[in-house]
Structure 1
Amino acid sequence: MRVVIAGGHGKIAQLLERQLAGRGDTAVGLIRNPEHAAALTAAGAEPVLCDLEHTDAAEVAGHLADADAVVFAAGAGPGSGAARKDTVDRAAAGLLADAAQRAGVRRYLLVSSMGVERDPAPGTDEVFVAYLRAKKAAEDDVTSRDLDWTVLRPGRLTDEQPTGRITLARHAPRGAVTRADVAQVLVALLDRPASARRILELVGGNTPLGEAVATATA
């Protein structure tokens, strides 16, 4: 399987790249900073320089040649303002979808966030509100398309060791989940065609990961 990952230098993306490469798949990471290429190579991925904020669908489609799936794992990241939440978390997700349709790649996994369907509590930081709105707008865009999309909404992300035990459902209780478990769930979803056209929320839990994925996508 050849999987192209937008936001290829992100923490979840690098964990995903290592897992894909470790089982013999080809992981391609789109990055905007050439200094990040070495980290992707170390993870077993093929780095491709492509700044999704400053390109067009035709160029991105060229990078998707022969891909079996795309994963949008990009984000403006901490310290960025509301404007970049829109240009990265929303617009770049749509651009990747445009490119996937041009390139004939039907499988699209979108890493979103829990909380996008709830109204932010009064006093919530305005940049975080912009982030949630951008993620929801990206979901609305991608899910409106003729693609085999899956939206994964992780809870609060941690860098702890993977537990292999999760809660995965259309609606999950608030909670945390390790980035390593998120990456493992993405791999499992890529392997399950039945996960297409589903929106799933993910937090740590008590169910073995494989069983949780199978149940949520039955």
Structure 2
Amino acid sequence: MRVVIAGGHGKIALHLERLLAGRGDEPVGLIRRPDQEPDIRATGAEAVLCDLEKAGVDEVAAHLAGADAAVFAAGAGPNSGAPRKDTVDRAAAVLLAEAAERAGVRRFVQISSMGAGKPPEPGSDEVWAAYLTAKTAAEDDLRTRDLDWTILRPGALTDDPGTGLVALSDPPSPRGRVPREDVAAVIVALLAAPGSHGRTLELIGGDTPVPEAVRGR
């Protein structure tokens, strides 16, 4: 399976690329900077330079040509301001989804966030509110598209080693934490899970093995 991953140098994406390559798939990481290429290649993935804040839909569709699936794992990052939450967390996600349609890549997994899907709480930090607003808009756009999409909303992300045990459910779910490595493992399982098409799922750490949690959806 050839899987093109936007935000290919992100922490979840690097785990995802390693897992996919390890089982014989062909992960492709879209990255913004040439200096990120060695990290991508170290996972066993192919690195492709493509800045989603500057690229047009035809360029992105060309990178998606021949792929079996696309994963949106990009994010503006914790040190970015409100404007980049819109240009990355919303606009880049919309661009990738439009390019997937154009390239005929039907399977599409979008990493969102718990808290998306509703207005930010009154008094929220401006940047956090912009982040949730952008994620919500990206979700709303994806639901209108003729793709086999799944939206995955992880809880608070950690760099702890993955446990392989999660709680995956329809929203709303309790707040919780989840290792990035486990998020990546869930995405691998979702890619081959047609029962998750057209679903919005929330993810936190739990006590159910990843394959079983995904099958249960």
- Please, what TM-score do these two structures have when normalized by structure 1? 0.97
Aligned partner letter, 1:195 = S
> Is the CA contact (8 Å cut-off) linking 2:17 and 2:43 kept in structure 1?
yes
Q: How far 1:27 moved relative to its partner?
A: 0.3
Task: Report the counterpart of residue 178 of structure 1 in structure 2.
Answer: 179
> Is the CA contact (8 Å cut-off) linking 2:119 and 2:133 kept in structure 1?
no
**Structure 1 residues 55-204: aligned runs within 5 Å:** 55-171=55-171, 172-204=173-205
Q: How far 1:214 moved relative to its partner?
A: 0.8
Task: Report the counterpart of residue 50 of structure 1 in structure 2.
Answer: 50
* Cα distance in structure 2, aligned partners of 1:3 and 1:117: 26
Task: Report the counterpart of residue 16 of structure 1 in structure 2.
Answer: 16
| 1:125-176 Cα deviation digits (max 9, x unpaired) | 1000000000000000011101000000000000001111111011221000
Aligned partner letter, 1:194 = G
* Cα distance in structure 1, aligned partners of 2:109 and 2:23: 19
Name the stretch that deviates more: 68-77 or 161-170.
161-170
Aligned partner letter, 1:192 = A
SS across alignment from 1:75: coil
> Is the CA contact (8 Å cut-off) linking 2:120 and 2:133 kept in structure 1?
no
* Cα distance in structure 2, aligned partners of 1:123 and 1:193: 39
Q: How far 1:120 moved relative to its partner?
A: 2.8
Which consecutive residues of structure 1, in runs of 5 or more, have no partner in the other structure?
Answer: none
- Please, what TM-score do these two structures have when normalized by structure 2? 0.98
SS across alignment from 1:163: coil
Q: How far 1:191 moved relative to its partner?
A: 1.4
SS across alignment from 1:115: strand
Aligned partner letter, 1:162 = G
| Count of paired positions | 216
Aligned partner letter, 1:183 = A
> Is the CA contact (8 Å cut-off) linking 2:53 and 2:92 kept in structure 1?
yes
Task: Report the counterpart of residue 31 of structure 1 in structure 2.
Answer: 31
- Give aligned-pair identity as a percent: 65
> Is the CA contact (8 Å cut-off) linking 2:52 and 2:95 kept in structure 1?
yes
Aligned partner letter, 2:14 = Q
Which consecutive residues of structure 2, in runs of 5 or more, have no partner in the other structure?
Answer: none
Runs of 4+ residues deviating >6 angstroms: none
SS across alignment from 2:168: strand
RMSD, aligned α-carbons: 0.8
Q: How far 1:194 moved relative to its partner?
A: 1.7
SS across alignment from 1:137: helix
SS across alignment from 2:4: strand
Name the stretch that deviates more: 202-211 or 24-33.
202-211
* Cα distance in structure 1, aligned partners of 2:118 and 2:197: 24
* Cα distance in structure 2, aligned partners of 1:57 and 1:166: 35
* Cα distance in structure 2, aligned partners of 1:57 and 1:187: 26
> Is the CA contact (8 Å cut-off) linking 2:118 and 2:136 kept in structure 1?
no
Task: Report the counterpart of residue 210 of structure 2 in structure 1.
Answer: 209
